[in-house]
């Protein structure tokens, strides 16, 4: 940053670039989570317009586990440790 603590044009571009990458990452993560849990939990034959109790429960567990795994891997990578 500049000496007067105001962001320069380059700093602003870097900040927006980082924010854009973060948003792309989050959208990709959400799409992967949605696809993974949908494929795992929702029956291929759509009988009802809404999820049944078993599907809802499965999706809740799947999303919870997916977030736990993502957070664990993120913490390991953030600490410089190998995720395996």
Decide: helix, strand or coil at residue 3.
Answer: coil
Which spans in 1-82 are helix H? 9-41, 53-78
Closest to 83 measured CA to CA, from 1, 74, 9, 31: 74
Spatial separation of the C-alpha atoms in residues 29 and 72, rounded to whole Å = 14
Per-residue pLDDT of the chain (84 residues; tens, 9 = 90+): 445 666 677 788 888 899 999 999 999 999 999 999 999 999 888 778 888 999 999 999 999 999 999 889 988 888 765 554
Whether the CB-CB separation of 66 and 41 falls below 8 Å is answered with: no
For the chain, which residues make up each domain, given as ranges? 33-40+53-69
């Amino acid at each position: 940053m500049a000496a007067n603590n105001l962001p320069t044009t380059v700093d602003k571009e870097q900040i927006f670039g980082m924010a854009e990458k973060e948003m792309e990452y989050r959208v990709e993560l959400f799409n992967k989570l949605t696809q993974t849990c949908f494929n795992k939990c929702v029956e291929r034959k759509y009988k009802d317009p809404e999820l049944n109790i078993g599907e809802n429960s499965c999706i809740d567990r799947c999303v919870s586990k997916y977030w736990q795994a993502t957070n664990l891997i993120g913490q390991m990578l953030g600490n410089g440790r190998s995720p395996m």
